[in-house]
Amino acid sequence: MSNYLDFIKNERARDYSNKKVSTDFVSQDVAKKVRSIYSEMQEYQKTPLVSLENLSKKLGVGKIWVKDESYRFGLNSFKSLGGIYAIYRTLEEMAGRDISIAEIFSPYFKKTVGELTFSAATDGNHGLGVAWASMKLGQKAVIYLPKGTVPQRIEAIKNTGAKAVVIDGNYDDAVEKMARDGEKEGWQVISDTAWEGYQDIPTWIMQGYTVLFHEAVEQIKQSGGDKPTHIILQAGVGSFSASGVGYFNSIYGKERPISIIVEPDNAACFYESIQINDGKPHRAKGDLSTIMAGLSCGVPNPIAWDIHFDYSDVFVSCRDELSALSMRVLGNPLKGDKKVISGESGAIGLGVLMHIKNELEIGKDSEVLLISTEGDTDPKGYLDVVWGGKFPSELPIM
């Protein structure tokens, strides 16, 4: 076992006699529908899928694909795919009729729904998507962030005209405070995690994320590939990763890729919940400190938990050094491979692959899909790692 990670296999993931939940809500049809809605936005473009041919040869892996979400809507992370779709669905319900996404952004639409305030809790990326959409709608946004959020992420939110509230607590505290204040103030709460009585919006957010998986499958096919044998997905509250696992299950069923869910060791709520093995989600034991700010969440989204418990194959708890290693490798590729600028939470999948491939028998016949979920959303932190060599690690034997 590598010094940099621990993993646990979920023995029930391949047993279809015991499934509690369906993955239909993140199916291919849902993804198609959401993508067609997004394609009416002028900012919508599919993000690149990079095949790292030379790195895969060096590592002895059949293929390594990296979906580069730093290009998403010019917002430097995938997260807006969820928030914008949830806002669109909220407004559609308010209007009481079918509307197009172009219509909600038209100057006339605001008259239909009046003045609104959207709120979200965030490490930065989800809140930026909600703030950006609110700006485009001509509406207000109030975004709650945990203590210690880097100034650049706060600035990016403020630059949209949104109010940023940095609370004296972590991400989970920010979610609780934002939900309480939102109810008191009558705001439209756009949370990427669910709780009792609050399920629709997080479900829409997860449906929004399916667009990137839909694009990736299409891009793999267009490049002459078939389907990945493995997907490595990073988890904070787990909405993103569960959306991916659910999406692939809904297309391929038992033939779906092996899914590897990755968390920082101080915020490993899914890994620890699988380890406890009582079928329930548990709060992480760690203090959530990690350079992977987007994954610094201690409470699983219950909707995501149900999908992961039923379908996800491997859970990884890993150290920050693996994220730094991945950022450097993606940013300084082997000759002939394309460079990917990938931030702390975005990069982690590659470092995990490098350290886990032998134990999981990932080799020449394996085709691995990684999602670089963010670019350099903390530009100083990015350079500290990539130029300054922060968080060094021993290279795995290649």
Ligand X SMILES: Cc1ncc(COP(=O)(O)O)c(C=O)c1O
- Position closest to ligand X via CB: 294
- In angstroms, the CA 11 to CA 73 distance is 38
Question: Smallest distance, Å, CB 108 to ligand X?
Answer: 33
- At residue 174's C-alpha, the angle toward residues 314 and 6, to 5°, is 20
Q: How many residues bind ligand X (CB under 6 A)?
A: 21
Residues 357-376 that bind ligand X (CB under 6 A): 373-374
Interface with ligand X, residue 313, by CB under 6 A: no
One of 49, 235, 314, 318 touching ligand X (CB under 6 A): 235
Q: Which stretch binds ligand X (CB under 6 A): 37-45, 119-127, 281-289, 312-320?
A: 119-127
Q: How far is CA 202 from CA 25, 223, 354, in A?
A: 12, 33, 32
226 catalytic per annotation: no
- At residue 26's C-alpha, the angle toward residues 312 and 271, to 5°, is 25
Interface with ligand X, residue 238, by CB under 6 A: yes
Residue type at 373 in one-letter notation? T
Question: Smallest distance, Å, CB 111 to ligand X?
Answer: 33
313 catalytic per annotation: no
Question: Smallest distance, Å, CB 238 to ligand X?
Answer: 5
> Are 101 and 167 spatial neighbours (Cβ–Cβ below 8 Å)?
no
Q: By CB neighbour count within 10 A (0-12 exposed, 13-18 middle, 19+ buried), where does 28 fall?
A: middle
Q: Is the CA virtual torsion 38, 39, 45, 48 positive or negative?
A: positive
Interface with ligand X, residue 83, by CB under 6 A: no
Residues 335-354 that bind ligand X (CB under 6 A): 345-346
Residue type at 339 in one-letter notation? K
Interface with ligand X, residue 326, by CB under 6 A: no
If the CB atoms of residues 134 and 296 are measured against ligand X, the closer one turns out to be: 296
One of 81, 84, 142, 237 touching ligand X (CB under 6 A): 237
Interface with ligand X, residue 296, by CB under 6 A: no
Candidates 7, 2, 77; CA nearest to 261 is 7
3-class secondary-structure state, position 231: strand
Catalytic residue among 46, 63, 68, 123: 123
Count CA atoms within 13 Å of residue 274 on its CB side: 28
One of 27, 47, 125, 317 touching ligand X (CB under 6 A): 125
| DSSP code for 82 | H
**Beta strand pairing status for 314-318 and 367-372?**
unpaired
Interface with ligand X, residue 123, by CB under 6 A: yes
- In angstroms, the CA 140 to CA 39 distance is 25
Question: Smallest distance, Å, CB 346 to ligand X?
Answer: 5
Interface with ligand X, residue 178, by CB under 6 A: no
Interface with ligand X, residue 62, by CB under 6 A: no
List of residues contacting ligand X (CB under 6 A): 77, 79, 123, 125-126, 192, 234-241, 294-295, 297, 345-346, 373-374
Please give the positions annotated as active site: 79, 123
